[in-house]
Every structure is written in structure tokens, then in C-alpha cells.
């Protein structure tokens, strides 16, 4: 038990030093990198190891006779959480979201310290001690608090009222509801019933199963299946069209959506909102092929009213590409990310 | 077979001679073994295994082939619209190396160690400033090594990484060389050396890459431009640590193969190279306190703040850049991307950022715009389009590289138009639905137009009204007199333009056509920029995202009153709690 706990304590100390060092720039902030695509799970794991670390730490401290009162444990953990959210998580989350997490964290800490009557008593004991001011130390503390709290709160409100020029927060609909049908190059496509004409097997028949069997493999790298090279000249059907779609993608789309379809293209850094990341399971993996067809054809300018702020520079590609080319690009995007388009059934 | 080998050897010898000729132009600092200072002889790495090569082929044909092409000749489908172009692997010419000029880069399929594997680092971190992205986090280390095994054995055709007869490795011992502290003295010496070593001939007097912007060509005959030392985040090989002197030191020591940038290893001492690196590094853009700009780890460019604050000045707004008010005004980095929405599209964008400052007084607001442009361009002929025209019918699909009229052939060879800059602001932005932004490019409709102010290098300052994405502009002649060009100067590769316009009031201006600037409000602002030597005109331009102009208000009185009231309230609350607690205790004691 003791060995286990000291291991935990070691994790806790190391983690705190690492985080502190990275926050204050003592050690390079890239020492522990956030790996793209695995960020949420990585952060959860990190927090979990901190919790383990703290458990070990508090156990070791109390074993050494320097037990930290429950009161400070609770406050300390909450402060740690807030600092972690502010300095560790990247890209930075806005204050309003952090405030939400902070509230949840506070409630959690409260639940923890008030799990039973005894714990709750232990927790509020220091507060009561200061209020009662039985000892000289506590009396001093009481006066310090009496003066400090109004000054702090006054200071905070002064700070909050000073005119600031922080960027206003904008919310935006990521996937606005599509129309029932869309007219591209003079032809009307019903979004519910349309199919990608290039999702076909070598015999030329629409074949979802065949195409799904030939997309890239999920997992690191998302590489093509060994026997499904779109650059093989003998290809017929699906893979041939994937290659044609890729050629169009790399002449038109990669400038923003990136070589790896992750929204990190050559020009992407200049735009806000940043271009869509197709490798994210929240984008094309959630949508029907026809939805993509509609968004590509009509671009940012074709967004419905609820799709504001319309800051999208996505062009209506119908001005640059034919219907066939758009379908092929859509086909390529699903191939390259290894996602199956959603279907209606 | 034999013939081709002798031929290749011949080419290599010729190249080597060329290098020697270039590099021995100055005096020579050669160590006892005949190697330049800071270098050591290295060993060629063993050939990667057949499995590695086969696995790498799969990576290559999933990720790389689209730009680098089936045969690795840098001619994939994406290549024709890229500049700088994707690498042609066939000749084995690679830019970022620790090896001496002309040599193959370090690559060992078994050693993915930074500093000992140049190609691995290039793939891991990409090449900032070009279309090559970092593959870290996308491909595993092993996959990166696999694809390099494929490229170095199958696609590098003219040379062989394992051929001891023709190849050698002279490795810069960067890890053992300690950077010299960047003292003023060192930087001063570096500043003198870059003149002495003729760096300024290409990189320009201020290092903005404007020295010889037209005539430089790479090994394949494509136009190429010298680096701008003020944008260190665009230095190849600098990802995530752009303010590192070591990167500059390495480039300077080994040269950039395939380009006119030679190695200076033979005619400078290590000490001199550190001085130069310190000087070059000191030029990179920094914040007002002289600290490096914070770099966004997702884009590897400076972090963006979308609010452009404007400070108030009493009386006339100064036109002198050295004036204290301008020195104190916060400077914002505005990132620019190519306009690829509407024809003619700007795939090759050469203006990737501008710097904006702003001041205002009771009548006017002034924008100071600074941006690096290697060439001052004033139109030689007539513009192909009227400045109001946005729907232009142009044949746009450029032919393949090598054919007449391709992007590659055009580069640095366009008809010259005016350099220009424009500021688009929303009209009646207060009435726009949340979040008070009009449609991004050129306004929403007749009801919610945008107000565009455009300066061109011929000295004109014009105002337009945009009423929609595909609507021609309307020129607003009556507004033009209200504006004033306070400054327009091009110096050593940088434009300085200062534009003054009214803040707007209902008496003198038209509420339905002009943007009214209000103190303490977020006014949506977009910037457009044109590089005349890049053939930019009309919609072929660089665009920014939406920024906000924010005129900093004077501090209102309430700011000082309310916090005091709140603090007093807290004191009262404290008194109440304490009284209650002590009463309760007394009650208990009784």
C-alpha cells in the first residue's frame, strides 16, 4: 500500500513540477505535446494521473505527520483544475466555458468534502475557527480577511468594469439544416434520394459495400488498403474515381482544408473560423454525402440564415467545378479520411 | 548502365566544382583535415530493408503522391498551382541538411533522432512557408521512416544514398557548437558581415528579401525568392522554434541545395557564423518589449488577436511614424490568405501578413498599414478590369507546368499592376443581426452594404460601396474628398501607408453608405492586399479574416464608483455574518 502510494506521490510531484515549469516557461512548453486527434482522451488521462498523484501525495503527507486539512485539499484541487484548464488545454477555451467547468468542479469538490457528516465538519472547521477567533492567530487571520476580502472583491469589480477590447464571443451553427433539394448547374437534386454516381464497383453498379471495403484503414496514418491503390492504372470504378477526385482536391481544396484534410492548408492560418477538419469524427463522418454535395456546391455564400456569421470563405464550387467533379471530390474525401458517409436508413 | 553512372558522376563533379567556385570566392577557413570549421566526416547509413521500402510505398501513394507525383518528380496534380513548388526527388537535391553543400542529407531508416536525420525532421515538421505540412501526429514515426525509405531508394534516381564511390557525408556538428550569446557587439558584427559577405545583395538592405527578387532561379529553372528575415516563422526548418539561432546557423553553414543560397562554411569562421545568425535572428518581428511573438502551435505562425484597438489622441493625428502616439499604439498582426473564392483566384499568394495600427480623434480615424512586399509595383499598362468590376470572365485554369501561361512560367513574369491595400468595413453594422457581421466578401445586400476604402500605388485613394458577393462595386466619388492619404512610402521591401477617414456623423456623412465608427464598439473590418508584381488585380488578391476595429473609450466614471460601493457592501455583509455567529454562540452557551 505504502509503495503504491509513494508511487502516486511521485507522479503527483513530477506532474506538478512539469506543469508548473511549462506554464512559467522554465522548461519548454512542448515537453509534453498534445497529440492532435487524441487530445480529449489525453487530457482526461492526464487529469486522472493527477488525481492519482494527489491521492498518493496526501497519503504520504499524512503518513509523515504533515496532513493537509481537508479544507485546503478541496480548495487546492479546485485551483489546480482552473489553472490546468487555463494553461494546459490548447487551443485555449474561452472564459465562459472555463467558468462552466469551474462551477462543475466546485460542485464536485463540495460533494467530495460533504460526502458524510464527519468530512463536512472537518471541512468547515477552519472557517468556523477563524469566525470564532479563539486563538490569537485566528483573530489576526480574521482581521486580515475582514480587510482583504472587500479589497479583493472591489478590485475584481474594478477590473471587470475597466473598458476592454477582448474579442467578442461568437457562436455559430456548424452543420446548419440543409434544404430539401438543391439546384446545381440547372439540375435539381433531392438531398434525401440522391446518390453519389461514382460510388460504383468495377462493373459500374452503385455499391456502397464495395466502396466501403476499399477506403483507407482507420488507425494511425489512415493508409490505403494494400490492394486498393487509387494510383493503380488498372483500376475501374470506385478507386479510379477516387483518384480523379483527389486530383481535383489537390488543385482546389487543399489550400484551405490541407494535405491531410485536417483543415490545416497553406492559407488556413489566415481564416476564422478555420476550415473544416474532415478527419474529425464530428464533420463529414456525421453527414450524408448529399449534405456535403450541397455545401460544396453552394459554399459559404449559400448558407441559410441560421448559418451565420457567414464568415466562411468557402466558395460556391459550382462556379468552378462541374457536378461530376464535385461528386468525385466528395468521394475522395470519404476515401481519404476512412469514414463511411451516413445513409438515410 | 555504366554510361549513365559516369554521366552522373560527371554531373556531380561539375556541381561540386560549381560549389567550390562559389564558396572559395572569399578567403578560406579550413580545418586540419581539410574540412570547414564545425564539420566532421560522417558515415553513409545502411540501405533500408525491403519491407520498409514496400511499406513506405503505401504511405507515399496515400499521402505524398498528390503533390510529389507518381515518379517523385514534383509534378503531382497539386504541383501546378503551388509556389514554391513541391520537391522533385529525382536529383536527390534537398534543402534542409546538416551536410555540406551539394551532399545528400542525413537519412538513416533506423535512427529517427533529431539532428541526425535531416529528412525525418523535414517530414516531421514540414517546411514552414511552403505547402509541405508537418506530418507529426498524422503519420507515426515508423511510417515517416518507411516513406522516406521509399523516397530515398526508389524516387531519388540520379544519386544513391549508399554509394560510397560517389557520395560522402561531411556533417555539421551543430549539437557540439554552442551558440554565441546575442550581445549587441555580436549583432553589430553580424550586421557588418552580412554586407561584407554580400548577403544583402539578395536579401536586401533590411533583410526583407527584396535584393534580387526577379532573377533568381532554382536548379529546375523555376523562379525563387530570397527569404525575408523578418518572418522567421516562414524559415524552412524552423517549425515550433522560429527564433532559434541554430536554425539560421545551420542554413548559413550548409547552404540550401538546389537554390542560389550557397554554403558559407568555407569562408566564414564558426564565430562569424554565430554573429550573422544572431543578427539575422534579431531582425525577426518582435513585440514592443523586444520579446519573440507568441507562436500558435497549431498554425506555426504568430498568434492572432482579432481586435485592432485604436487609441485616442488629442488634436491632429500625427503622420510621423516616430511620433510617440504611433510608438505607443498597439500593433496587430493580420494574417492574409489567397482569395480563392472567386475568379481570378489567387493560388500563389505573396502577401501573407500585414501589420496594423490605428489612432483616432474626435473627427477622424487613421489606419497605419505596414506590410512587406519585395517589389514596389506601379502599373505599367492599363488595368485589365475596371476597379469596380467583380464579375470577371477570365479563362482561369492555368495550363500544366512547362506549358505557356502556367503559374510556374508566370512567376515573377506577370504584367505589373499597382500594389494596393483596402479596408472593408460594415455599413450600419449596428443594425445587422448578431454577431453584427455582414457577409464576408463585399457585403450582404443593398440594405447592408460594405464600405471599401482602397489605396493604390499610383497614389489614388478611392471609396467603393459593395452590395453583395457577385455585385459590381459602386464608386463613391463624393466620399473621396473626405478621406486623406497621410503617407504612402515603399522602403527596402516594406510599404508604409497611412489612411485617414472621418469617424462619421449624421450631419456630414451618409448613414446608409458610410461606416460610422463609434467609440467602444466592435466594428467588423476586413483587409485586402495586392502585390502588383504577382499579377494581383481585381479579385486576385490577398484577404484577411474578419477583424474588429475597436476605438478604446476613455474610462467612464462608474468604473471608479461602483467597486467602492461593492466593497462597502461586502464589509456590511461581513459584519452581519460575524454578529450572527457570535449571537448564535452566545445562545448556545446560555
Instruction: Give dist(CA B279, CA B185) in Å, integer.
Output: 10
Name, in order, each residue with C-beta under 8 angstroms of A222's C-beta and a sequence gap of 6 or more. Answer: A216, A279, A336, A337, A338, B62
Residue A158 · residue B559 · CB < 8 Å? yes
Grid cell 521500402 in the structure block, residue: B53
To the nearest whole Å, the CA of B17 is away from the closest chain A CA by 37
Phi then psi dihedrals of residue B93, to 5 deg: -100, 115
Q: What is the pLDDT of residue A311?
A: 67
Q: What CA–CA distance (Å, rounded) separates B297 from B174?
A: 25
Counts of helices then strands in chain A (DSSP H, E): 11, 2
Show me where the domains of chain A are located: 2-113, 181-337
* CA–CA dist B378, A255 (Å, integer): 29
What ipTM was assigned to the predicted interfaces of this complex?
A: 0.87
Asked if A55 is an interface residue toward chain B (Cβ–Cβ < 8 A), one would say no
Query: Which residues, 6+ apart, have CB-to-CB distance to A321 below 8 Å?
Result: A248, A252, A329
Q: Please tell me which of the candidates B298, B574, B581 has its beta carbon nearest to residue A91.
A: B298
| Of B77, B101, B80, B377, the residue nearest B213 (C-alpha) | B377
| Low-confidence spans in chain A with pLDDT less than 50 | none
In this structure, what C-alpha cell is assigned to residue A138?
485566528
Are B78 and A251 in contact (CB < 8 Å)? yes
> How far is Cα A141 from Cα A127, in angstroms, rounded to an integer?
11
Residue in this structure with the C-alpha cell 439546384, named with its chain if needed: A183
What is the distance between the alpha carbons of residues B499 and B354, in angstroms, rounded to a whole number?
Answer: 15
Mutation target to probe the A interface, by most A beta carbons within 10 A, among B70, B139, B440 is B440
Q: Which residues of A touch B546 (CB under 8 A)?
A: 272, 309, 311
pLDDT value for A174 = 67
> Which residue's C-alpha cell is 475522395?
A332
In angstroms, what separates the C-alpha of B187 from chain A's closest C-alpha?
A: 25
Nearest to B67 by CA among B49, B52, B87: B87
Rounded CA-CA distance A162/A92 in Å is: 23
Contacts 24+ apart (CB under 8 A), A83-86: A83/A19, A83/A23, A84/A19, A84/A47, A84/A50
Q: Around B300, how many Cα atoms within 13 Å sit in the side-chain half-sphere?
A: 26
Q: Are the beta carbons of B61 and A229 separated by less than 8 Å?
A: yes
Identify which of A221, A269, A315 has the shortest CB distance to residue B138.
A221
Q: Which residue of A has its CA nearest to B437?
A: A309
**What is the Cα–Cα distance from B441 to B538, expressed in whole angstroms?**
13
Are A149 and B574 an interchain contact pair (Cβ–Cβ within 8 Å)? yes
Q: Which chain B residue is nearest to residue A296, measuring alpha carbons?
A: B341
Among candidates A253, A31, A216, which has minimal Cα distance to B138?
Answer: A216
Compare CB distances from B563 to A157, A216, A221 and report the shortest one's residue: A157
The segments of chain B whose pLDDT lies below 70 read: 1-33, 395-399, 402, 433-436, 587-590
3-state DSSP helix/strand/coil % of chain A, to nearest 5: 55, 5, 40
Max CA separation in chain B (angstroms): 114
Interface list for A 276-315 with B (CB within 8 A):
299-301, 308-315
Measure in Å the smallest separation between the Cα of B1 and chain A Cα atoms. 28
d(CA B269, CA B263): 12
Put simply, the chain A residues between 153 and 182 with a CB less than 8 A from any chain B CB are 153-155, 157-158, 161-163, 165-168, 170-171
- Residues B422 and B455: their CA atoms lie apart, in Å, by 6
CA B411 to CA B529: how far, in whole Å?
18
Tell whether A339 is within 8 A of chain B (Cβ): no
What are the C-alpha distances in Å from B142 to residues A182, A229, B153?
45, 20, 17
Quote the CA–CA distance of B298 and A91 in Å, as a whole number: 8
A258–B567 C-beta distance less than 8 A: no
Q: For residue B170, give the 3-state DSSP assignment.
A: strand
- Candidates A153, A170, A220; nearest CB to B566: A153
Interchain proximity A259–B63, CB inside 8 Å: yes
Mutation target to probe the A interface, by most A beta carbons within 10 A, among B340, B345, B525 is B340
Q: With an 8 Å Cβ cutoff, is A344 touching chain B?
A: no
Q: Which of A23, A17, A169 is nearest to A93 (CA)?
A: A169
3-state secondary structure of B150: helix
Global pTM?
A: 0.83
CA B231 → CA A263, B242, B287, B302, B414, distances in Å?
23, 9, 13, 10, 25
Alpha-carbon Rg for chain B in angstroms = 29
CA distance A151 to A157: 10
Q: What is the spatial distance between Cα B260 and Cα B227, in angstroms, rounded to a whole number? A: 11
What is the per-residue pLDDT for B393?
A: 73
Contacts 24+ apart (CB under 8 A), B467-472: B467/B442, B467/B443, B468/B439, B468/B442, B468/B443, B468/B444, B469/A301, B469/B342, B469/B439, B469/B441, B469/B442, B469/B443, B470/B342, B470/B390, B470/B391, B471/B390, B471/B442, B471/B443, B472/B388, B472/B389, B472/B390, B472/B391
pLDDT of residue B5: 46
- A342 DSSP assignment: B
Asked whether the beta carbons of residue A226 and residue B58 sit closer than 8 angstroms, the reply is yes
Task: Kindly state the cell numbers that stand for B117.
Answer: 536525420
Please tell me chain B's helix, strand, coil percentages from 3-state DSSP, rounded to the nearest 5: 30, 20, 55
> Residue B179 carries which DSSP code?
P
Instruction: Among A162, A267, A310, select the one facing B559 at the smallest CB separation.
Output: A162
**Is there a contact between B386 and B423 (Cβ–Cβ < 8 Å)?**
no
Q: Quick one: B253 exposed, middle or buried, by C-beta within 10 A (0-12, 13-18, 19+)?
A: buried
Sequence-distant (≥ 6) Cβ neighbours of residue B505 within 8 angstroms = B516
Contact (CB<8Å) B62/A221? yes
- Return residues 96-155 of B near A (CB < 8 Å): 130-131, 133, 135, 137-140, 143
Q: Please tell me which residue of chain A has the smallest CA distance to B84.
A: A266
Q: Cβ of A288: how many Cβ atoms within 10 Å?
A: 18
- If DSSP codes are grouped into helix, strand and coil, which group holds residue A295? helix
Angle between helices A2-23 and A70-87 in degrees, nearest 10: 40
Q: Tell me, what's the pLDDT at A184? A: 92
Helices (H) and strands (E) in chain B, counts: 13, 18
Using alpha carbons, select from B194, B198, B170, B295 the residue that is nearest to residue B238.
B295
Task: Evaluate whether B29 touches B268 at the Cβ level (below 8 Å).
Answer: yes
Contact A284, A329 (CB under 8 A): no
What Cα–Cα distance (Å) separates residue B474 from each residue in B456, B466, B477, B504? 17, 7, 9, 19
The H or E element spanning position B333 is strand B332-335
HSE (side-chain half, CA atoms, 13 Å) at B51: 2
Residue carrying the nine cell digits 465608427: B517
**Closest among B311, B417, B306 to B368, alpha carbons compared:** B311
Three-state DSSP at B79 gives: helix
The alpha-carbon gap from A133 to the nearest alpha carbon of chain B, in Å, equals: 10
Residue A32 touches chain B, beta carbons under 8 Å? no
Residues of chain A neighbouring B336 (CB-CB closer than 8 A): 270
> For the segment B330-362, what is each residue's pLDDT rounded down to a tens digit?
999 999 999 988 888 899 899 999 999 999 999
Cβ–Cβ below 8 Å for B555 and A163: yes
Q: What is the DSSP string of A2-42?
A: HHHHHHHHHHHHHHHHHHHHHHTTSS-TTSSPPPTT-HHHH
Strand B450-456 vs strand B420-426: parallel, antiparallel, or unpaired? Answer: antiparallel
- Which residues in chain B touch residue A268, judged by CB atoms under 8 angstroms apart? 299, 337
Q: Measured between alpha carbons, how far is residue B177 from residues B275, B282, B467 in Å?
A: 13, 20, 60
Contact B556 A163 (CB under 8 A): yes
Residue among B338, B543, B571 whose CB faces A150 most closely = B571
pLDDT tens column, B151-171: 999 999 999 999 999 999 999
- B434 contacts in A (CB within 8 Å)? 308
User: Apex CA A204: angle with CA A203 and CA A205, to 5°?
Assistant: 100
| Contact between B231 and B210 (Cβ < 8 Å) | no
At a CB cut-off of 8 Å and minimum separation 6, what does B476 contact?
A: B463, B464, B465, B513
Which residues from A are below 8 Å from B81, CB to CB? 251
| Mutate: best of B65, B69, B77, partner A, most A CBs <10 A | B77
Amino acid at each position: 500500500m505504502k509503495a503504491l502510494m509513494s508511487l502516486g506521490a511521485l507522479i503527483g510531484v513530477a506532474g506538478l513540477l512539469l506543469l508548473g515549469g511549462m506554464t512559467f516557461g522554465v522548461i519548454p512548453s512542448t515537453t509534453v505535446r498534445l497529440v492532435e486527434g487524441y487530445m480529449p482522451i489525453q487530457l482526461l488521462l492526464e487529469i486522472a494521473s493527477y488525481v492519482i498523484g494527489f491521492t498518493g501525495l496526501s497519503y504520504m503527507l499524512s503518513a509523515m505527520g504533515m496532513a493537509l486539512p481537508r479544507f485546503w485539499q478541496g480548495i487546492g484541487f479546485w485551483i489546480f483544475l482552473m489553472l490546468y484548464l487555463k494553461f494546459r488545454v490548447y487551443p485555449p477555451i474561452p472564459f465562459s466555458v472555463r467558468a462552466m467547468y469551474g462551477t462543475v468542479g466546485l460542485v464536485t469538490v463540495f460533494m467530495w468534502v460533504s460526502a458524510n457528516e464527519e468530512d463536512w465538519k472537518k471541512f468547515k472547521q477552519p472557517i468556523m475557527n477563524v469566525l470564532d477567533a479563539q486563538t490569537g492567530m485566528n483573530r489576526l487571520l480574521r482581521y486580515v480577511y475582514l480587510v482583504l476580502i472587500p479589497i479583493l472583491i472591489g478590485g475584481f469589480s474594478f477590473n471587470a468594469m475597466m473598458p476592454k477590447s477582448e474579442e467578442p464571443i461568437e457562436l455559430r451553427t456548424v452543420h446548419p439544416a440543409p434544404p430539401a433539394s438543391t439546384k446545381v448547374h440547372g439540375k435539381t437534386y433531392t438531398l434525401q434520394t440522391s446518390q453519389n454516381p461514382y460510388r460504383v464497383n468495377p462493373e459500374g453498379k452503385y455499391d456502397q459495400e464495395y466502396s466501403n471495403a476499399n477506403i483507407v484503414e482507420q488507425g494511425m496514418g489512415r493508409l490505403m488498403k494494400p490492394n486498393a491503390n487509387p494510383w493503380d492504372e488498372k483500376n475501374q470504378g470506385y478507386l479510379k474515381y477516387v483518384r480523379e477526385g483527389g486530383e481535383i482536391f489537390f488543385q482546389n481544396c487543399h489550400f484551405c482544408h490541407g494535405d491531410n484534410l485536417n483543415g490545416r492548408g497553406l492559407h488556413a492560418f489566415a481564416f476564422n473560423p478555420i476550415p473544416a477538419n474532415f478527419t474529425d469524427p464530428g464533420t463529414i463522418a456525421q453527414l450524408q454525402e448529399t449534405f456535403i454535395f450541397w455545401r460544396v456546391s453552394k459554399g459559404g455564400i449559400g448558407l441559410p440564415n441560421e448559418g451565420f456569421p457567414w464568415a466562411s470563405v468557402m466558395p460556391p464550387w459550382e462556379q468552378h467545378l462541374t457536378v461530376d467533379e464535385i461528386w468525385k471530390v466528395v468521394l475522395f474525401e470519404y476515401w481519404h479520411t476512412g469514414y463511411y458517409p451516413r445513409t438515410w436508413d | 548502365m555504366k554510361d549513365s553512372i559516369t554521366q552522373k558522376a560527371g554531373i556531380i563533379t561539375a556541381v561540386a566544382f560549381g560549389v567550390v567556385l562559389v564558396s572559395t570566392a572569399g578567403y578560406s577557413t579550413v580545418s586540419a583535415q581539410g574540412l570547414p570549421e564545425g564539420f566532421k566526416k560522417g558515415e553513409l547509413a545502411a540501405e533500408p530493408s525491403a519491407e520498409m521500402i514496400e511499406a513506405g510505398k503505401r504511405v507515399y501513394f496515400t499521402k505524398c503522391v498528390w503533390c510529389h507525383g507518381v515518379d517523385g518528380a514534383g509534378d503531382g496534380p497539386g504541383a501546378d498551382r503551388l509556389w514554391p513548388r513541391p520537391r522533385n526527388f529525382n536529383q536527390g537535391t534537398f534543402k534542409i541538411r546538416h551536410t555540406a553543400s551539394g551532399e545528400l542529407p542525413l537519412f538513416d531508416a533506423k535512427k529517427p533522432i533529431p539532428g541526425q536525420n535531416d529528412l525525418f525532421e523535414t517530414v516531421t515538421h514540414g517546411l514552414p512557408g511552403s505547402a509541405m505540412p508537418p506530418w507529426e501526429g498524422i503519420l507515426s514515426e515508423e511510417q515517416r521512416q518507411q516513406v522516406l525509405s521509399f523516397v530515398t531508394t526508389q524516387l531519388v534516381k540520379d544519386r544513391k544514398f549508399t554509394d560510397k564511390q560517389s557520395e560522402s557525408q561531411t556533417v555539421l556538428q551543430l549539437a557540439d557548437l554552442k551558440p554565441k550569446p546575442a550581445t549587441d557587439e555580436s549583432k553589430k558584427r553580424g550586421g557588418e558581415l552580412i554586407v561584407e559577405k554580400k548577403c544583402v545583395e539578395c536579401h536586401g538592405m533590411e533583410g526583407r528579401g527584396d535584393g534580387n527578387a526577379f532573377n533568381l532561379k532554382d536548379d529546375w529553372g523555376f523562379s525563387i525568392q530570397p527569404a525575408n528575415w523578418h518572418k522567421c516563422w516562414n524559415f524552412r526548418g524552423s517549425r515550433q522554434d522560429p527564433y532559434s539561432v541554430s536554425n539560421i546557423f545551420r542554413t548559413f553553414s550548409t547552404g540550401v541545395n538546389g537554390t542560389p543560397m550557397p554554403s558559407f562554411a568555407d569562408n566564414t569562421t564558426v564565430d562569424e557564423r554565430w554573429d550573422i545568425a544572431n543578427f539575422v535572428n534579431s531582425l525577426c518581428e518582435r513585440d514592443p518589449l523586444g520579446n519573440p511573438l507568441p507562436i500558435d502551435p497549431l498554425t506555426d505562425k504568430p498568434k492572432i488577436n482579432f481586435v485592432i484597438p485604436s487609441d485616442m489622441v488629442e488634436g491632429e493625428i500625427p503622420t510621423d511614424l516616430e511620433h510617440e502616439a504611433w510608438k505607443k499604439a498597439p500593433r496587430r498582426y493580420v494574417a492574409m490568405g489567397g482569395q480563392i473564392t472567386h475568379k481570378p483566384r489567387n493560388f500563389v499568394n505573396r502577401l501573407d501578413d500585414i501589420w496594423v495600427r490605428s489612432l483616432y480623434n474626435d473627427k477622424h480615424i487613421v489606419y497605419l498599414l505596414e506590410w512587406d512586399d519585395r517589389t514596389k509595383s506601379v502599373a505599367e499598362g492599363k488595368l485589365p478590369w475596371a476597379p469596380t468590376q467583380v464579375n470577371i470572365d477570365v479563362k482561369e485554369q492555368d495550363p500544366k507546368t512547362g506549358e505557356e501561361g502556367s503559374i510556374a512560367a508566370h512567376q515573377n513574369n506577370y504584367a505589373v499592376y499597382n500594389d494596393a491595400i483596402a479596408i472593408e468595413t460594415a455599413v450600419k453594422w449596428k443594425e445587422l443581426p448578431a454577431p453584427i457581421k455582414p457577409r464576408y466578401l463585399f457585403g450582404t445586400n443593398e440594405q447592408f452594404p460594405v464600405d471599401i476604402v482602397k489605396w493604390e500605388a499610383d497614389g489614388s485613394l478611392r471609396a467603393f460601396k459593395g452590395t453583395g458577393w457577385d455585385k459590381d462595386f459602386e464608386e463613391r466619388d463624393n466620399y473621396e474628398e473626405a478621406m486623406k492619404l497621410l503617407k504612402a512610402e515603399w522602403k527596402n521591401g516594406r510599404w508604409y501607408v497611412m489612411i485617414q477617414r472621418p469617424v462619421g456623423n449624421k450631419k456630414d456623412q451618409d448613414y446608409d453608405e458610410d461606416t460610422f465608427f463609434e467609440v467602444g464598439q466592435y466594428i467588423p473590418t476586413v483587409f485586402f492586399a495586392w502585390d502588383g508584381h504577382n499579377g494581383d488585380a481585381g479579385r486576385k488578391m490577398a484577404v484577411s479574416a474578419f477583424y474588429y476595429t475597436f476605438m478604446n473609450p476613455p474610462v467612464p466614471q462608474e468604473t471608479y464608483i461602483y467597486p467602492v460601493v461593492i466593497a462597502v457592501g461586502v464589509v456590511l455583509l461581513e459584519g452581519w455574518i460575524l454578529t450572527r455567529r457570535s449571537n448564535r454562540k452566545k445562545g448556545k452557551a446560555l
